[in-house]
Amino acid sequence: MTVVLPTTILVLGTYFTYNDQMTIGTLILFYTLLNYLIEPVRNLSDAYQGTRTALGAADRLQDFLFEEGNKEEKSIDLPQFEKMSINISKYDWEDNTIFRDFTLELNKNDRVLISGDSGRGKSTLLHLVMNFL
């Protein structure tokens, strides 16, 4: 749409200007105002695509959180435990304290969601937890 519509406006505008049915000023006006038509349509398209992506992610998250695992799925053998506690008194990275006095307690069959902004230590936490196992 970002290429087809401006090209169409220029081709038709050139045709109408050549046949004295439109002035050059009108053609320039149409071409200039074209962005006011294209930008809202592009924004709607981006919003629609974002909504579809979010709904797909929500479906996958719902499947993970609320459905029992398929018995045929391959699984990773982890140590069996009834309760697991992880205590991180302090973890530094390049003169920055990432974790201080962090405690995580999990019971068997618990499900955990780790969320947060980018760069806040989610992956670091998972790497540390995997090293404890």
Whether residue 73 lies inside any domain: the answer is no
The two tokens of residue 65 are: 């959180």
- Indicate if 58 and 89 belong to the same structural domain: no
The parent domain of residue 26 ranges over: 4-66
The two tokens of residue 88 are: 């991180």
Domains held by the chain: number: 2
Per the CB < 8 A criterion, the answer to whether 122 and 114 are in contact is yes
Whether residue 125 lies inside any domain: the answer is yes
Whether residue 60 lies inside any domain: the answer is yes
- Indicate if 10 and 54 belong to the same structural domain: yes
Distance of CA 89 to the CA centre of its chain: 33
Whether residue 10 lies inside any domain: the answer is yes
* pLDDT per residue of the chain (133 residues) written in tens, 0 to 9: 668 888 888 899 999 999 999 999 998 998 888 888 888 888 999 999 999 998 888 888 887 777 665 555 566 666 677 888 888 888 888 888 888 888 888 888 888 888 888 887 888 888 887 775 5
Distance CA 38, CA 32 (A): 11
- Indicate if 54 and 87 belong to the same structural domain: no
Last residue of a domain, one of 37, 66, 95: 66
The pTM score is 0.38
